[in-house]
Each structure stands twice: as C-alpha cells, then as structure tokens.
Amino acid sequence: MKSVFFTPVLAFIISCSGKKEEPQQKETFSIKGNHVIISENNPVLKKIITETVTEQQYSKNITSAGTIETIPNNYAEIASPFSGRVIRSFINIGQTVKAGSPIFEILAPGYSSVRKDYSDAMNDVRLAEKNYKRQQDLFRHGVGIQKELEEAETEYQNKKTSLSNASSTLNAYNSKGSGGTYIIKAPISGEIISNKIVTGQYLKEDSEQVVIIAELSKVWITGAVKEKDIRFISPGDPVSVKINTYPDMEITGKVYHISELVDEDTRSIKVLIQCDNPQRKLKPGMFAAVTYSAGTEKAVIIPSQALMQQGDRQYVWIKTGRNEFTKRFINPGSTSEKATMISSGLQPGDIIMIQGGIYMPGTK
C-alpha cells in the first residue's frame, strides 16, 4: 500500500486556493420610541433624501358632490284644472313653446256654470254702481251720510274686481254650441320634456300632471359644503363642474345662493350653483363634482411621497440630528398626487425625509 503525503508546498497551495469569507455588514438602527439613529455603515443612508419645509402660496379649492336640478321658475307641471275630456293636443315632446301658447283643449262641462258666474257678476256690478250713484246724489244734497257713501264705493270696487275675474275665466273658454271647451296654456316658455296627453282621455280634477315644461338653457347644481369650509365661499364666486358623462367638457358656474340652514346630520350647508347649459347636456338628476375656488393663502406644502401611513394616521420623518430622524404625526389638508398641504404638525424650517422613508424601521 502506498502512503499519501501532503508536502508543505501542497498544503500552502491548498490553503491559498480557498477564499476567506468576510463577515457581511448588517443594517443597523438604534431605535428609541419614535426616534431612530442610523449607523454610518448602513446603506439606507444613501437612499435618503431630505428637504427643508417652507411656506408657499396655495390655491385653496373645496370640492363637494352635487346634483343637477331645474330652476324652479323655469319649470312647470301642467294638470287639468277641472274634470273633462281632452279633445285636442297642440304639442309634441321636445317642442319649444312660449308662455301663453296652447297646450291642450279640454271639453269643459263647467262652461255653463262659468257663464252663469259671469252673468251674476255683471248684475252685481250694475246694482252696486246704481247704489253708489244714489249715495253720491244724496251726499251732494246734504241728506246723505259719509260712511254710507264710502261703503257703497267699496262695494262697487269689489264687485268690479269680481267681474274682472269672471271675465278672465270666461275668456279662456271657446264657445261651441251649448257647451264649451277650455284651452290650457303654457305658463312659461321652454321645452316640452314630458307629454302624457292622449286625445279622448278623461282627466279628473285631481289628476296628476300630464305635461312638463322646462327651460334648460340654465340649470342649478345643488351642492353640500362642510360647515368648516363655508367661510371660504360667497355668492358670485366662480366654480368649476365635472360630469362623469362628459369628463372632457369644461363647465363653469357661479355660486347663486348659500342656505341659512345647517344639516345637523352631515354638518354641511346647501349651496346653489347656476350654470349655463346652451347645449342641454346637463340633465336634471345627473351627479356632478363641484370645485369652489376659495382664493390663495400661505401654507406648508410638502411632496406627497414624504407621507407615511400608520393605521388611520399619517406621519413624516423629521431630521433631528446627524443620521437621526424622529417620526412625527401630522394632519394633512388638501392633497394631490404630487403635493399635500399640511394643516398642522409641521413648521417652516423643519427638515423632512422626502425619499427613503420606506426603508425605515417599522415601515416595511
């Protein structure tokens, strides 16, 4: 059997061929509560970028949800004023009408009653006039009483008013033989947006509306602004409006009215915005996002990427010394993808970590 010997030279070659592993450097942090010290050899230091907090001019915008509505004076629901049968319609849906335009004609069983009311009113006026002239004549001859003359004059004026009302009602009818018809007219100018009239149908006096007219060249948007923000909004302020249906359409309006009442459940206040709607694209019932311009003010603004999240709270890392940072909870205000306005928690001159916070203890 042959023996195997390791010479010193061979041993030296073997020992030189093997590489000695050096111990890996570990990331090291010294943590005490919300205070963190990063060691000099920690590679996290190279990933951290800081920035000094400053005050900047900030355009304060307030956003609320809203609903498009018709303006009350530009909206009318028309029903029959009494029972009767429709004999003719003058309109079609989508048609534009003017105030006073005929809408539909109804056979009016009450026509004879209206004529009788007019005839009675005429007789009452004649009698009141005769009595008034008699009291005037007595008073001129010194045998009349001032009080009776004044009462006769008042009675005469009242009867003339009643006659005028009866005449207006009668004039609304078209006489046809022994009966009569009544023409329902448009109370406002606008577009026929609903038409349920059917020729020949019988309408009861308490029937629901059969025609809706709306003038939609202008609309209202009803929004709800939080009680804490209402101080920034005044009548006449410009607003911008976004509709999901038309995301690329630029819509502007003005604050028309601010309610005097606060909704106790939501702590919000109703705000009416008036918008032009020349193309009729804004439909009553649509939802809208309303942005109110509340002017400019100085505020602390930081990059949004500096914000970190812990539960339902947000914080930033404040530089408090060489390689030392402290977690500070803040109250953010308005925010966007790039920048966030800070309501409280930061002051100009604070140095914050704007990049690298994800590598800090407890944030992974």
CATH number where 327 lies = 2.40.420.20
What is the average pLDDT across 243-256? 90
Asked, for residue 138, whether it belongs to a domain, the answer is yes
In a domain, 125, yes or no: yes
Model confidence over 272-295: pLDDT tens digits? Answer: 999 999 888 999 999 999 999 877
What's the average model confidence in pLDDT over 219-229?
A: 91
Query: What gap in Å lies between CA 253 and CA 275, rounded to an integer?
Result: 4
- Specify whether 140 is located in the same domain as 162: yes
Residues 98 and 179 in one domain: yes
How does residue 25 score in pLDDT terms, banded at 50, 70 and 90?
very low
Alpha-carbon span 78 to 89, nearest angstrom = 13
Residue that wins the pLDDT comparison between 229 and 77? 77
Helices 146-171 and 111-140 meet at what angle, rounded to 10? 160
240 found inside a domain: yes
Query: Is the pLDDT confidence value at 238 over 50?
Result: yes
pLDDT computed for residue 190 by the predictor: 94
Residue 37 lies in a domain: yes
- Are both 178 and 111 inside the same structural domain? yes
Cα–Cα–Cα angle for 168, 173, 175, nearest 5°?
A: 130
276 is a domain residue: yes
- Say what the pLDDT of residue 253 is: 93
In-domain check, residue 20: no
Query: Does 196 lie in the same domain as 222?
Result: no
Which is nearest to 59 in space by CA: 228, 335, 295, 301? 295
Q: Please check whether residues 86 and 202 belong to one and the same domain.
A: yes
The answer to whether residue 181 scores a pLDDT higher than 50 is yes
Average pLDDT, the chain: 85
Same domain, 50 and 150: no
Determine contact, residues 351/50, Cβ cutoff 8 Å: yes
Q: Tell me, what CATH number does 160's domain have?
A: 2.40.50.100
Which CATH number do you get for residue 240? 2.40.30.170
Residue for token pair 């890996």: 24
pLDDT (0 to 100) of residue 172 = 63
Q: Are residues 140 and 169 in the same domain?
A: yes
Q: Tokens standing for 269?
A: 């206040």
Instruction: Tell me which of 213, 247, 276 is where a domain ends.
Output: 213
Among 249, 277, 297, which residue terminates a domain?
A: 297
User: Residue 60 pLDDT > 70, yes or no?
Assistant: yes
The answer to whether position 364 is within a domain reads no
Do 248 and 324 lie in one domain? The reply is: no
Domain boundary among 280, 297, 314: 297
Same domain, 66 and 133: no
- Please say whether the beta carbons of 273 and 239 come within 8 A: yes
Query: Is there a single domain that holds both residue 126 and residue 180?
Result: yes
As for how many domains the chain has, the answer is: 3
pLDDT above 60 for 176: no
- Is there a single domain that holds both residue 88 and residue 209? yes
Positive or negative CA dihedral for 72, 73, 75, 78?
positive
* Structural domain range at position 346: 29-57+298-359
Q: Do 253 and 345 share a structural domain? A: no
- With respect to residue 348, please indicate whether it lies within any of the assigned structural domains: yes
Residue 9, SS3 per DSSP = helix
